[in-house]
Amino acid sequence: MTFTVLFASSPMNLREADESYMEEYRSAEKAGFAVGLIDLEELLMNNDPQKALKRVALHPGPEPQSALYRGWMLRPDEYENLYAALLTRNLRLIHTPGQYRHVHYLPESYPKIEDVTPKSMWFPLPTPVSIDAAENLAAEAVRVFDNHPIIVKDYVKSRKHEWDEACYIPDASDESKVRQTVRRFLELQGSQLNEGLVFRAFTELEALSRHPLSGMPLSREIRVFVLDGNPIFVSTYWEAGEDAAFNAVLGEFQEIIRSIESRFFTIDFAKTNKGPWIVLELGDGQVAGLPDDTNAERFYTELKKSLEKGVG
């Protein structure tokens, strides 16, 4: 079965992939995938699926053919629109909207990773958000963390680049700092807020350095792409011997990895100061970025090989 990989077209030239995904587009094609372009603006802003898919042919056959999207994160309702639109071309994305949501929203998959990820709690927020009301809810909610350090994010993203003002709270019992950080986070997220607020116990990670501009700690973190329960791509290059050590670590997470209700996802690991590796977050494989320095050709070649093995 052939998989089609769909990318967003460039707003400047609808015949080309958007600049940010150009290298991936070329690499996917080179690896032997069928590739396609969708005009996301028509789909998501103008709500015109037929125009958005002008360049995607109807795939003949009794059953929909397989496709996957590679691009920016979509809200679950946007993903659902894309999923439905592609079905009119007889293409079916690798994940149903439900599967997308399962991995995209931390609270949805949290029960699966609970034992290996920092303790977290959350609550949804109505739109439009009342920042005052959110602050009050937050002040109440973080009591479970006592006086421990915590971080704040929404159901999907943090403001890690505004670490001190909008992400990290050194002491959860410091109510004014909690309120201030939550306020700043919500101001910065604005209409991009995903669903609600998440608070997580901060865990000291093995430090590499600090981001020179934002002060965000840079730690030993590794993104692993998983397909059908098997790690297919590990995001880093290694110093001698380290890959074997990390493979052993991965083995210990195998059962959890297999329990995630998604064919294609990322799992981000970090090494704690105390020693053990923990899981930081999951992401849908269609919208998770390739880490810097990733060799895109190698990524798509591995993906192709693994998809062919899986769909037999």
Ligand X SMILES: Nc1ncnc2c1ncn2[C@@H]1O[C@H](COP(=O)(O)OP(=O)(O)O)[C@@H](O)[C@H]1O
Query: Cβ closer to ligand X: 43 or 282?
Result: 282
* Least Cβ distance, residue 145 to ligand X (angstroms): 11
* Least Cβ distance, residue 234 to ligand X (angstroms): 16
Class of residue 261 by CB neighbours under 10 A (exposed 0-12, middle 13-18, buried 19+): middle
* Least Cβ distance, residue 224 to ligand X (angstroms): 14
Other beta carbons within 10 Å of 179: 18
Cβ 94 vs Cβ 67: under 8 Å: yes
Cis peptide before 128 (omega within 30 of 0): yes
* Least Cβ distance, residue 134 to ligand X (angstroms): 18
Query: Cβ closer to ligand X: 134 or 167?
Result: 167
Interacting residues with ligand X (CB under 6 A): 118, 151, 153, 157-158, 160, 200-203, 205, 219, 221, 280-281
* Least Cβ distance, residue 187 to ligand X (angstroms): 16
* Least Cβ distance, residue 67 to ligand X (angstroms): 25
Query: Cβ closer to ligand X: 151 or 193?
Result: 151
Query: Cβ closer to ligand X: 36 or 118?
Result: 118
* Least Cβ distance, residue 104 to ligand X (angstroms): 11
Query: Cβ closer to ligand X: 11 or 170?
Result: 170
Query: Cβ closer to ligand X: 42 or 281?
Result: 281
Query: Cβ closer to ligand X: 202 or 265?
Result: 202
